[in-house]
């Protein structure tokens, strides 16, 4: 499979930048941006014809192709702008009451926690944090943390598929099964999963699954989905109620007011690019690269791995060799130094009393990118 620096020609990434953060926002290949530009010009040549006549069928075709890729039941997948919107859609669709509980990981992404907190505060419900361990040696500890957090008042469990600060693959099948057995509705936050992990959403059978296509599937930014099990479709309403209110799940989500649908429609070009570049071999290659990079960096820094290989996809979180104060302000200074002095883009995080950085592996990266980070970090610190 072709990989490494020569592949940078497919992206617009700045020359000389060591880009080790595919995970935060993705990076869209030129070919997909070109396809998106074509959709936009098609739309602007005759906006009325496009919106009324062409868009419904085009959107349906794009959704069907994506649904097949993620193993979703036909008609269960709707487009949303991002995983944040997917999670908020579910939170706003449910009625929480005084004393109800929403369970999420103590490592949940900040935006998701804030959305849950907002929904809870409006109704007198409260957030309960699953005490997910990190570093971790086996995935059972994560499932156990969720099992302990779920109780009689749990009205929703939000489960990361791949954790944001920790990069850990969570045992979602097991957690979903446990939630379903206890009649607890469950939403999987798969922000990082499409293109990183093989998905069979019908088999997983979560009540809701939201995933980004703009991170690891190469789609333009603003392309994500919410997949809703048939049993939950009637209550699941878009964040913006619009023209097709009450006309069914797909119809309602297909039109939430005038917007630029070109990112959604370009998911087919993204899937084509993904397939052309290697398909399932891509996440496998990203995984190997990141695992090898993490081992080399840990050896250089004298640090321990934070997770077993099997719990990592295309990212790994590394503990920094730093015994001082661990605030996000200090983490930001480390990040800024790496970028300014070494042109390395990598997220640096402060949590659980330590500093960490999260590396992403992508087919345009080389091991040399990570060795440069390994060498620069002690100086940055
Ligand atoms: C686990 C997790 N959930 C949600 C999000 C939010 O993604 P988006 O900004 O695309 O909504 C992220 C972003 O990195 C994430 O890591």
Which of 206, 240, 273 is a domain's end point?
273
User: Do both 294 and 213 map to the same domain?
Assistant: no
Q: Give me ligand 1 centre to Cα 376, in Å.
A: 28
Separation CA 9–CA 29 (nearest Å) = 9
Please determine, for residue 121, whether its predicted confidence score (pLDDT) is greater than 90.
Answer: yes
CATH number of the domain where residue 310 is located = 3.90.1150.10
Q: What is the pLDDT of residue 2?
A: 83
Taking the centre of ligand 1 as the mean of its atom positions, its distance from the CA of residue 60, in whole angstroms, is 25
Work out the average pLDDT over 112-141. Answer: 98
Q: Note whether 53 and 182 are same-domain residues.
A: yes
- pLDDT on residue 152: 97
Q: Is 302 exposed, middle or buried (0-12, 13-18, 19+ CB in 10 A)?
A: exposed
Closest ligand 1 atom to residue 83 Cα is 11
Task: Give pLDDT tens digits for 26-45.
Answer: 999 999 999 999 999 999 99
Q: Please report which confidence band the pLDDT of residue 1 belongs to, taking 50, 70 and 90 as the band edges.
A: confident
The pLDDT of 197-222, averaged and rounded, is: 98
331-356 pLDDT, tens digit each = 999 999 999 999 999 999 999 999 99
State the total domains in the chain.
Answer: 2
pLDDT, tens digit (0-9, with 9 covering 90-100), for 278-324: 999 999 999 999 999 999 999 999 999 999 999 999 999 999 999 99
Ligand 1 pocket, residues with Cβ under 6 angstroms: 24, 82-84, 109, 111-112, 160, 164, 189, 191-192, 212
52 and 91 fall within a common domain: yes
The CATH code of the domain that includes 210 is 3.40.640.10
Average of pLDDT values for 225-241? 98
Q: Which residues on adjacent β-strands are paired with residue 197?
A: 194
Has residue 184 got a pLDDT over 90?
Answer: yes
Please give the distance, rounded to the nearest whole angstrom, from the Cα atom of residue 154 to the centre of ligand 1.
Answer: 23
Can you say whether residue 342 is alpha, beta or left, with left for phi > 0 and alpha for psi between -120 and 50 degrees? Answer: alpha
Please state, as a whole number, how many other Cβ atoms lie within 10 Å of the Cβ of residue 71.
Answer: 14
**Which atom number of ligand 1 is nearest to the Cα of residue 108?**
1
Which of the listed residues 273, 288, 318 is the one where a domain comes to its end?
273
Lookup: tokens for 209? 């699954």
Let me know whether 66 and 21 are in one domain: no
CA 86 to ligand 1: nearest atom? 11
Confidence of residue 55 (pLDDT cuts 50, 70, 90): very high
Say yes or no to pLDDT of 186 above 90.
yes
- Domain membership of residue 244 as a residue range: 32-273
Domain boundary pick from 224, 247, 273: 273
């Amino acid at each position: 499979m072709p990989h490494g620096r020569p592949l940078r020609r497919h992206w617009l990434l700045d020359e000389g930048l060591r880009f080790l953060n595919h995970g935060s926002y993705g990076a869209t290949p030129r070919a997909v941006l070109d396809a998106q530009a074509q959709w936009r010009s098609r739309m602007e040549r005759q906006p009325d014809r496009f919106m009324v006549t062409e868009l419904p069928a085009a959107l349906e075709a794009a959704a069907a192709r994506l649904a097949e890729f993620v193993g979703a039941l036909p008609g269960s997948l709707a487009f949303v702008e991002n995983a944040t919107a997917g999670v908020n859609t579910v939170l706003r669709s449910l009625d929480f009451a005084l004393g109800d509980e929403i369970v999420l990981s103590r490592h949940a992404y900040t935006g998701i926690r804030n959305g849950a907190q907002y929904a809870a505060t409006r109704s007198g419900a409260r957030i309960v944090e699953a005490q997910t361990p990190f570093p971790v040696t086996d995935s059972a500890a994560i499932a156990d943390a969720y099992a302990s957090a779920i109780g009689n008042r749990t009205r929703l469990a939000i489960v990361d598929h791949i954790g944001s600060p920790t990069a850990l693959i969570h045992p979602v099948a097991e957690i979903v099964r446990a939630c379903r057995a206890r009649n607890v509705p469950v939403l999987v936050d798969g922000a990082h999963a499409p293109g990183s992990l093989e998905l069979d959403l019908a088999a997983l059978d979560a009540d809701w699954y939201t995933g980004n296509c703009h991170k690891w599937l190469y789609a333009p930014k603003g392309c994500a989905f919410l997949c809703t099990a048939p049993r939950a479709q009637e209550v699941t309403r878009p964040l913006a109620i619009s023209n097709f209110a009450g006309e069914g799940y797909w119809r309602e989500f297909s039109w939430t007011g005038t917007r630029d649908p070109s990112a959604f429609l370009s998911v087919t070009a993204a899937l084509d690019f993904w397939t052309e570049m290697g398909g399932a071999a891509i996440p496998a290659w990203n995984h190997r690269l990141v695992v090898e990079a993490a081992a080399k960096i840990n050896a250089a820094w004298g640090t321990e791995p934070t997770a077993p290989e099997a719990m990592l996809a295309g990212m790994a979180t590394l503990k920094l060799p730093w015994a001082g104060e661990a605030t996000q302000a200090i983490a930001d200074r480390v990040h800024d130094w790496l970028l300014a002095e070494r042109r390395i883009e990598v997220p640096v995080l402060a949590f659980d009393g330590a500093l960490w950085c999260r590396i992403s592996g992508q087919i345009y990266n080389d091991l040399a990118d990570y060795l440069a980070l390994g060498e620069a970090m002690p100086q940055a610190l």
